């Protein structure tokens, strides 16, 4: 099933997918002087508030400042829409094809697109500290890695780091390589990433949106590759193996080769200078691993640590990945150079364990609780939305009386001024997921709105622990406010 936008409930949040080729300009293309500014469009799968989006906004600020407003950057958020498989690659192909001028693309994504020079960044358990990330993205090795993009018509401007990645389990902690045997791990598409999990006996899948949350609730998805700052967005209680650092997430700031060639030398230099400043901003913005783990624990997560012997076993299990990577002489040389940098880096501050893995991360089991059928009604005001942080437009569009009708798996959502939305409700692991535009659970064509725990007392239905099926704080706040801020009175 697809993830639902706010539009699927009531009003539209426009996410434009722009496909006009080339740069857009009105007047001269020179960076400077009194001519009308030139605009370049830059794409990402992310939305505002995510690190890649923050990096784009920083880059846009730097470009505008350096060019005195004569060169502008226009972000295209979620450039291929929502619920897309291989989302990073889909955006990358828009840049290769010239449908977007620029992009902020995770470096991991390019190994499926015929680019091998960035694979060393994904070498398992190699780059395990923020200091080493900084050294890699600021040294000459970064230019070497980006140069491989030339072969597919892309010019790499900079490597912009986000931070280090770990594995988060939805059940028992993953402490040894054998713990991964037979496990399905949600991970963004990357040949090198997937090869690591295959070497550990696991299966990796990108699982966009609703299939991810349903898989977690059903117990078929046991873990996710992510980072401490984003663990709160994962669909379930998680346990992190805090000292098992798989690799860093580093974004490549790139531009279509023809778009770049169409710029003046001065404009090209503006982009290069702004990219360098954005890279340095990214280095400063990385959250230290220990700090991220501490906040994750404060938010209710559990951190466990594995032994040095187990870490050595993980490195040994990953050897087949290195054997494949190092068949390419250039990649082998890049890995050796990173190892040399690693030998000179200080050890990172250790991550502290916290919480109770057995109590905080039970293995999900199918729900045996029957959801209470009936007709439920709730009234929400515009001020309720505004007080929660929802913007004026969506607060006004969605205020009013809402009615939910649950009947033997079928669902109808009705609200003032909007057509009724039919669908289904699906229960698993003590949670209910509301899905519209389908007549059965598990249908990929359906639009999932949210999932939640529920309780019914004194004829009042209350949704709690609400998780939006849209990513990002805007959608989470909207859904928490609409579905969970008021009890639903049973009227039938």
Per DSSP, the three-state class of 418 is: strand
What separation in angstroms does the CA of 425 have from each of 24, 373, 434? 45, 10, 5
Contact 137, 250 (CB under 8 A): yes
Residues facing residue 250 across a β-bridge = 161
Query: Which two three-digit tokens encode residue 468?
Result: 């939006």
Residues facing residue 376 across a β-bridge = 404, 490
Q: What is the per-residue pLDDT for 325?
A: 97
Listed range (188-197, 413-422, 439-448) with the worst mean pLDDT: 439-448
Among the listed residues 292, 313, 283, 294, the one whose alpha carbon sits nearest the alpha carbon of residue 353: 294
Confidence at 34, pLDDT banded by 50, 70, 90 = low
216-232 pLDDT tens trace: 888 899 999 999 988 88
Strands 239-241 and 302-304: parallel
What separation in angstroms does the CA of 403 have from each of 6, 197, 418, 440, 486? 17, 45, 12, 21, 13
122-135 pLDDT tens trace: 999 999 999 999 99
Question: How does DSSP classify residue 264?
Answer: -
Q: What is the per-residue pLDDT for 17?
A: 26
Report the alpha-carbon distance of residue 79 to residue 47 in Å, rounded.
9
Report the alpha-carbon distance of residue 232 to residue 189 in Å, rounded.
21
Contact 123, 325 (CB under 8 A): yes
* Position with higher pLDDT, 278 vs 440: 278
Q: What is the per-residue pLDDT for 453?
A: 87
Contact 148, 166 (CB under 8 A): no
pTM of this structure: 0.69
396 has a pLDDT exceeding 90: no
Among the listed residues 155, 354, 406, 126, the one whose alpha carbon sits nearest the alpha carbon of residue 256: 155
**pLDDT > 90: percent of the chain:** 63
Q: What is the per-residue pLDDT for 225?
A: 97
Q: What is the per-residue pLDDT for 409?
A: 84
* Position with higher pLDDT, 275 vs 21: 275
470 has a pLDDT exceeding 80: no
Listed range (60-64, 331-335, 395-399, 446-450) with the worst mean pLDDT: 446-450
Q: What is the per-residue pLDDT for 489?
A: 94
344-384 pLDDT tens trace: 888 778 899 987 543 333 333 333 357 899 999 999 999 99
Place of tokens 């295959």: 198
């Amino acid at each position: 099933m697809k993830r639902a936008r706010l539009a699927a409930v009531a009003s539209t949040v426009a996410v434009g997918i722009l496909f006009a080729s080339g740069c857009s300009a009105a007047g001269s293309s020179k960076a400077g002087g009194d001519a009308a500014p030139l605009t370049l469009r830059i794409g990402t799968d992310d939305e505002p508030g995510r690190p890649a989006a923050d990096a784009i906004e920083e880059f846009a600020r730097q470009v505008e400042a350096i060019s005195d407003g004569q060169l502008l950057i226009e972000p295209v958020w979620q450039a291929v829409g929502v619920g897309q498989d291989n989302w990073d690659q889909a955006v990358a192909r828009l840049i290769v094809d010239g449908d977007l001028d620029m992009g902020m693309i995770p470096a991991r994504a390019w190994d499926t697109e015929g680019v091998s020079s960035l694979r060393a960044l994904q070498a398992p358990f190699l780059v395990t500290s923020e200091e080493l990330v900084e050294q890699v993205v600021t040294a000459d090795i970064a230019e070497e890695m980006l140069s491989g993009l030339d072969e597919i018509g892309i010019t790499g401007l900079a490597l912009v780091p986000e931070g280090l990645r770990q594995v988060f389990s939805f059940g028992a902690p993953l402490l040894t390589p054998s713990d991964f045997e037979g496990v399905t791990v949600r991970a963004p598409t990357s040949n090198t990433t997937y090869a690591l999990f295959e070497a550990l006996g696991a299966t990796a899948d990108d699982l966009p949106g609703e299939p991810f949350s349903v898989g977690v609730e059903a117990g078929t998805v046991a873990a996710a590759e992510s980072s401490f700052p984003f663990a709160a967005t994962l669909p379930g209680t998680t346990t992190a193996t805090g000292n098992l650092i798989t690799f860093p997430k580093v974004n490549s700031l790139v531009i279509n080769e023809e778009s770049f060639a169409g710029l003046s030398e001065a404009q090209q230099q503006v982009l290069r200078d702004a990219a360098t400043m954005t890279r340095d901003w990214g280095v400063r913005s990385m959250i230290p691993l220990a700090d991220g783990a501490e906040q994750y624990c404060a938010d209710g997560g559990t951190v466990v640590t594995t032994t040095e012997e187990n870490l050595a076993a993980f490195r040994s299990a990953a050897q087949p990945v290195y054997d494949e990577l190092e068949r390419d002489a250039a990649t082998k040389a890049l890995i050796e150079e990173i190892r040399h940098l690693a030998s000179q880096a200080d050890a990172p501050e250790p991550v502290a364990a916290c919480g109770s893995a057995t109590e905080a991360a039970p293995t999900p089991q199918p729900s045996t609780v029957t959801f209470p059928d009936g007709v439920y009604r709730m009234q929400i005001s515009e001020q309720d939305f505004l007080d929660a942080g929802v913007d004026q437009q969506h607060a006004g569009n969605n205020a009013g009386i809402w009615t939910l009708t649950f009947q033997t798996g079928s669902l109808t959502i009705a609200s003032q001024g909007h057509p009724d939305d039919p669908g289904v409700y699906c229960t698993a692991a003590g949670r209910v997921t509301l899905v519209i535009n389908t007549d059965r659970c598990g249908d990929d064509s359906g639009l999932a709105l949210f999932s939640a725990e529920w309780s019914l007392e004194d004829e009042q239905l209350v949704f709690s622990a609400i998780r939006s099926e849209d990513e990002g704080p805007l959608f989470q706040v909207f859904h928490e406010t609409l579905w969970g801020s008021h009890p639903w009175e049973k009227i039938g």
